[in-house]
Amino acid sequence: MTGLTNMIILDEGDNVGVALRDIAANEQARSASGPQVPAVERIAQGHKIALRHIADGEAIIRLGVAVGIATAPIERGHLVHVHNVRSQYLNNDEDHYE
């Protein structure tokens, strides 16, 4: 399925895209709006992929809104999920936010 849109970027200010289907490691994540990011690892449908480097402590932005905070540096093309993001409001260990 090369060349087909497999990711959506909800707002031009987002630093993550959302997988529309499973994206394999080494596959290009492609948005209909143009941006492409090589997936470094598998990104499951509905999960987030870093569109650029995200620094430790930086906000994760989806739909123009902060949805979490990076707990470690996240490189472009990597999965953005509970292993490298924490909620601004809840404790991931107890509340399973992400």
**Which is nearest to 17 in space by CA: 57, 38, 1?**
38
- Are 43 and 28 in contact by the 8 Å Cβ rule? The answer is no
**Span 26-51, pLDDT tens digits:** 999 999 988 899 999 999 999 999 99
CA distance 4 to 87: 32
pLDDT of residue 92 exceeding 70, the answer is: no
Across the chain, where does the E strand assignment appear?
7-8, 16-19, 28-30, 36-38, 48-50, 59-62, 65-70, 79-80, 85-86
Query: Which position has the higher pLDDT, 37 or 94?
Result: 37
Name the β-bridge partners of 65: 62
pLDDT score for 88: 77
Among the residues of 1-98, which ranges form H helices? 92-95
Task: Quote the pLDDT of residue 1.
Answer: 42
